Amino acid sequence: MTNRVLVVDDDAAVRAALGQTLELAECDAITVGSFVAAKDLITPDFDGVILSDMRMPGRDGFHLLRYVREVDADLPVILLTGEGDIPMAVQAMAEGAFDFLEKPCASADLMAVVRRALKTRALVRENRALKSRLESGDPAARMIFGTSPQVEELRARARAVAATGAEVLVTGAPGGGISKVAEVIHLMSPRGQGPFVKRPAAGLSAEGFADLCREAAGGSLYLDEIAALPSETQYAMLEALEQGIEARVLVGSVADLAQEAAEGRFLADLFYRLDVMRVRIPALSERPEDIPVLFSHYVAQAAEQAGIATPDIPQEHLAALMAQDWPGNARSLMSAAMRFVLGMPEEAAQSAELGLAEQLAQVERSLLIAALGRQNGNASAAAKALKLPRKTFYDKLARYGIRPEDYRR
């Protein structure tokens, strides 16, 4: 997370004191004495936040705030105000300031606001980086989400493996995106313009495997959960690979395929033939710093699917998500994002613990919200779409505490 703070104050003693407080809190403080001196440091990619005095000669905190809003509306500005400046500070908040602090300010109060602003800035920059990767032409950047070192290493590994043309074994925990990584490898390979044929290995016959090889000719064949491949098909697959086929073979496995082979449940010779290149996907529990940006992405997706505006995500909610292990990985995080968008309490995931009436109430509430989202918050139109009398519809909204105006875009 970024820890840079640009301090703007015309009083040299105050600047020094603020800089010392920030440095003791392990922040990287940059101190300047005027708006003019700060101006050249304020850019759309500034990796920190701004702490500015309200009253300064020439251009004051308002001028600074308005300039920052023009350069980057998402760059947090914290204002320091004197006792008589509170009304001005409130106005500044209305114009987009992140927060304000009254002087003199206790170090603990200052750092609480600064850290909150830094977290907000870090999340904005991560979301922008993700959007940039999504818009780039690099499939690894576009399709493998996250900003952690582990994910950067995964992208690099996928790119390197893709260039070889060899068979690839992709491993990882359930819900971790094994098939997506296999598709990324295909797209970045010399066969990337050819077909990508994806099938589950379970129940696949030898004849079916041969048909898939012909279908994937010139491209790649991906078999999911390769440990479930029937034994007779394993022999046919090994023979086909030894003779050479016109498709690159990629396989995925949640099970430990080496152990499966060692214990006789998977053909050892086939394992060695498939285990030419291995790519392992790190679990979410190994990279919790990726959770905020992934959750934000999934929330935006879920909101679009539900036809409602993307809701704000409180920092406290993100912190709670990061504290969880997520054994279901990306798949369970997507489900949590959908529940968040639909306003369902997180404990609703444990629906088995709820009675039938409670479960039905959750479903009804979700349908009401989705209808309002599709109708841009128009309650009459939503009631009509659900074929409900207006009074009944409004009674239900009141029962669940739903406000139509919250779903107007």
Q: What is the pLDDT of residues 71-129, one digit of tens each?
A: 998 999 999 987 667 787 778 888 888 988 888 889 999 999 999 999 889 888 877 77
pLDDT at 133 over 60: no
* Residue 127 identity: N
For the chain, give the percent of residues with pLDDT over 90. 44
Residues 251 and 268 in one domain: yes
d(CA 79, CA 103): 10
Q: How far apart are CA 47 and CA 63, in angstroms?
A: 21
Mean pLDDT of 133-148: 76
Query: At residue 354, does pLDDT exceed 70?
Result: no
The domain boundary residue, chosen from 228, 248, 282: 282
CATH number of the domain at 80, please.
Answer: 3.40.50.2300
Q: Which residue has the higher pLDDT, 286 or 344?
A: 286
Higher pLDDT, 291 or 373: 291
Count Cβ atoms below 10 Å from residue 385 Cβ, excluding itself: 15
CA–CA dist 334, 228 (Å, integer): 26
pLDDT recorded at residue 353: 47
Mean of pLDDT values over 389-396: 88
Q: Is residue 299 scored above 80 in pLDDT?
A: yes
Mean per-residue pLDDT, 320-347: 83
The owner of tokens 């500034």 is 46
**With 60 as the cut, is the pLDDT of residue 200 above it?**
yes
Could you tell me the residue range of the domain that residue 168 belongs to?
Answer: 139-282
Query: What contacts 283, CB < 8 A, 6 or more positions away?
Result: 172, 173, 176, 326, 329
pLDDT, residue 118, reads: 92
Claim to verify: residue 112 and residue 162 sit in the same structural domain? no
The pLDDT assigned to 131 comes to 64
Check pLDDT > 50 for residue 177. Answer: yes
3-state secondary structure of 83: helix
Q: Please state, in angstroms and rounded to a whole number, the distance separating the CA atoms of residues 297 and 312.
A: 12
Note the helical H segments in 172-267. Answer: 178-188, 206-215, 231-243, 257-262
Question: How high is the mean pLDDT of the chain?
Answer: 87
Q: Do 320 and 264 fall into the same domain?
A: no
Q: Is residue 290 domain-resident?
A: no
Q: What is the mean pLDDT of residues 179-184?
A: 95
Last residue of a domain, which of 258, 282, 306? Answer: 282
Q: Is residue 287 part of a domain?
A: no
Task: Select from 99, 131, 163 the last residue of a domain.
Answer: 131
Q: Quick one: 170 and 228 in the same domain?
A: yes
SS3 (DSSP) at 246:
coil
**Residues 229-267 pLDDT 10s:** 999 999 999 999 999 999 999 999 999 999 999 999 999
- Give mean pLDDT, residues 391-403: 87
**pLDDT score of 30:** 94
Say how many domains are in the chain: 3
The pLDDT assigned to 349 comes to 43
Indicate if 162 and 245 belong to the same structural domain: yes
Please give the pLDDT value at position 271. Answer: 97
- pTM for this prediction: 0.57
Rounded mean pLDDT of 160-169?
Answer: 92
